[in-house]
Amino acid sequence: MLQNTRNEKPLNTYRSFVMDSSRWEKFKARDGDILVCTPSKCGTTWTQMICALLVFQKTNFDKPLSDISPWLDLMAAPVDEVLAQYEAQTHRRFIKTHTPFDGLPYYKNVTYLCVGRDPRDAFLSLQSHFRNINPEFIGRMMKNLPAGAAPPARPQQQGLLDAFRAWITAPASAGESAQPGATPDPAMVLNQLKSFWHYRKLPNIHFVHYSDLQRDLETEMRRIAKILGISVPEKLWPEFVAAAQFENMKADAAMYAPDVSLGAWREVGNFFNKGVSGQWRDVFGPEELAVYAEAMEKLPPDLAHWLENGRG
């Protein structure tokens, strides 16, 4: 059911072994803030890069992207430290979050960029993502495991079908216990996107799709600029589009991959894996696709179509 109003305070709290949505309680929004709201492996860093290009109007930044736009929910640093980073910024801020919409405050003076991707591709990308996480980083996160939060999954120890079933049927409601083997990430694609989709008539909620960025990056960047009310001199567009290309970001992974300074990755360059759509066709068989179809039937049909196709 579409909603055209929402309370300002979060409706739920989401916690996992890496994140805690209650950290938003101390955040002070400013007019024009941009919230980059995505499930994992659906184009978070890509969208942050586009925002950085548009906000700064240049392609070279004085610090790594995740230092400019840290993941507010991530418990790797004290919340007061992360909030101080944002408070000290004098430019238009763009804030990363993987929290579903019902776990976020609602600000009328803020733009929410909600980014989605075909769930099958997001899942496969997430498997590579898990394999690349530094075990020492996981150990540090486990020391701060919130009460009731599930430990991290071990997807590499499961068969593909079992891992996919656990992931795509993960609990939709805050506070539910994850199934054995399921990722405890509350930002799983279906639940995260559905939480925003019900409120898509609100004037400050906008949707961006990974496949649309791949099909026509310049058109999508121009659309995002229009959403944000940012004017870009025509002569700068070719340079900006080139800087946001997947291959160019991968080539400078130390600058653009998230949380490099926290030692999050075994191999920093592997954070940017393949960056393609449709890779599931070479991997998924009838059993995985049957599980997928059953999960998608629980979504609003227009959301299911958008997730698979984008704007087209």
* Residue numbers annotated as active site: 98
Angle, vertex CA 178, rays to CA 286 and CA 25, nearest 5 = 125
Rg, C-alpha atoms of the chain: 18
* CA within 13 Å, CB half, 262: 22
- List beta partners, residue 24: none
Residue 76 CA to its chain's centroid (Å): 17
Contact of 210 with 115, CB cutoff 8 Å: yes
Q: What is the DSSP letter of 280?
A: G
Local structure of residue 14 (DSSP, 8 states): -
Distance CA 183, CA 163 (A): 9
CA angle 272-193-133, nearest 5°?
30
Q: Are 132 and 271 in contact (CB under 8 A)?
A: yes
From the list 150, 160, 159, the residue with the least C-alpha distance to 182 is: 150
Residues whose CB is less than 8 angstroms from the CB of residue 278 and which lie 6 or more positions away in sequence, other chains included: 118, 121
Backbone angles phi, psi at 209, to 5 degrees: -115, 140
